[in-house]
Structure 1
Amino acid sequence: MTLYPIETGHFKLDGGAMFGVVPKSLWQRTNPADANNMIDIAATSLLIEHGKQLILIDTGLGNKQSEKFFSHYHRWGDHSIDSSLKKHGFHRDDITDVFLTHLHFDHCGGTIQWNKDKTGYEPAFKNAKIWSNQEHWDWAINPNDRERASFLKENLLPMQESGHLNFLKRSKNRHFYENLGFEVLFVDGHTDKQMIPIIEYQDKKLVFTADLLPTAGHIPLPYVMGFDTRPLKTLTEKKLFLKEAVNNNYYLFLEHDAHNEVINLKDTEKGARLDSKFNFNELFTT
C-alpha cells in the first residue's frame, strides 16, 4: 500500500461558522481571519494505491458550480485534482474507487462533472465505483433545512443515475472493509453516518479526520463547527476519538487544514492538545 496526498483546491470559509460558539479572540490564535472574517481552508484528498486498486478519499468542491456559487468560497491557489494526480504519475481514469466520507459539496463535488457539451452531468472518474452508505445517502437526498444548501442535487442524482454508486454495509459503528483495505469509524455529530477512514500504513495508524476534526485549531473539545447538525453528539464523539488518538498515537490527516498536513496529539491537564506537526512526505516514505 502507498498513500499520496491529493490537493483538490483551497478556499475560504467564515471563521465564526467554523468555530461555532467559540469567541474569535480564541480561535483566531490558530486560524487567523482576513478582513472579511474568512479563514484558509483546504480540501485535501488522500489517494490509496492498494494492489490493483487506486482509491481516492473525497474529491473536493469540483469545478461545475457557477461563478456566483464559488464567489462565496473565495478559492485561492492553483491546486487541482488533475495536477496533483499527475505529480504522482496518475490520471483520473486510473481511479478504481472513490470513497466519500460524506456528501457535503466540499467533499463530493469533484465526483461529478459537466459532460462534454455541458448539457448534463457525468462521473469525473469514469472507471471508478463510488462508495457511500445507505443511511447517509437517504439523509442527503431528503435533506433537512439546515443541510439543504450542502447536499446539492447536481452532485447526488448523477451518482445514482450513472450506476457507479455503491453502499458500504455496516453492522456496528466501526467496521473493517476488506474490499478497501481500511477500517471505517461512523460518526453522527456533523452529519448522519459520516465515515472516518483509519488506515494501517508503515507501522502507523493514519486517520483521515474529514469533518470530525477539520483543522488543528479544532482540537479543544468545545471547538465545534457551527455547521454540525448535532453539536452535543459531536462533543461526545470527539471526546472519545481524541482519547483514543492520544492513547494509540494516531497520526491525523487533516483534510481541511491549509497549513498543517498531519498531526498527532498529547494528553495535558486541559485534555488532548497538539503534540507535533508533520509534512506527509517527511513522515512517510514512498
Structure 2
Amino acid sequence: MQIFDSIKKMQEWSLQARKQGKSIGLVPTMGYLHDGHLSLVQAARRNCDLVVVSIFVNPLQFGQGEDFEDYPRDLSRDTDLLADAGVDAVFAPAAREMYPAGFSSSVEVSGEITRKMCGISRPGHFKGVTTVCTKLFHACMPDKAFFGQKDAQQLLIIKKMVRELNFPLEIIRVPIVREHDGLALSSRNVYLDAGQRQEALALNKALSQAKEQIAGGERDIARLKDRISGIITASPQAEIDYIEIVNGEDLSELEAVDGIVLIAVAVKFGKTRLIDNLLVEV
C-alpha cells in the first residue's frame, strides 16, 4: 500500500493506473476509521480494480465552535487498518497542500437540497464538503466514489454536483453500518459518555418505529414526527436539532409519505451531535 501526501504524486499514480486500464474506487474519509468506513472499502474492492482512501480532516466544513481541533485523528492506526483491508493507496494531505496560501476558490450546490436539515444548523458546511470533494476527485481521479448512507444529505448533494458539473465518475451509496445495539457507527461516538451512549440508542429506536408505523399504513408526516420526537425526548440529555421526513431522492418536501422517503434526525447528546436516517419505500 502506498501513502501519498502530495496531490501531484497522487495524480501521477492514478494516471498510471488509468493508462494500464485499471478502474479506481475512492473512499473519502476524515480518518479515525471504523467498520462503517471499512464497509465502503469493501464495496470499492468489489466494484473496482484499485482502491484509494483519502484521509483529510477538512477545515472548510467545520463551523465556528465545532469540533475541528478536537476531531479524533490517528493516521498510523488508520493506515494499519487500510493495509489489512487491502487498500492500494492512501491520500493523506496536509491542510496546506489542499489549501495553499491565497486559496480562495470554492464549489457550491445551491437550492432546497442544501437549505434544510444540516444546511440550516451548519451554515457553510456543504460548501466545504463540495469544495473538498471536488479537489479529492481531481487528485485521485476515481471511476467510482463510495459514500455512506448515514450522511444522506451529503450523499445526495455530492450526486447532484457530480451530475450537474459532468464529473466522469459514479457515486455509489453504501448502507449504514450499526453497532450490535443499533447505534449508527460514527467517529464522533467516542465523545459520548456511558449515559449518553445509552440514550443515543433512541435514534435508531425512533426511526425503526416510524418505519413500522408506515408499514402499518401511517402516512401523516406530522404524526410520525411527533412520535419520533416523543421517543427521542424521553432521553433527558437529548436535544433535537431536526426531524425530517422528505423525498429520499432529492430531499424535497412531501405532503404525505409516498414513494421513496428519507426519515432523518440530528440530535445532540451533551456536546456531541449525531445524525441518523432510514430510507422507506411505499
Instruction: Give the TM-score taking structure 1 as reference length.
Output: 0.28
Higher-Rg structure is 2
Structure number having the greater helix percentage: 2
Structure number having the greater strand percentage: 1
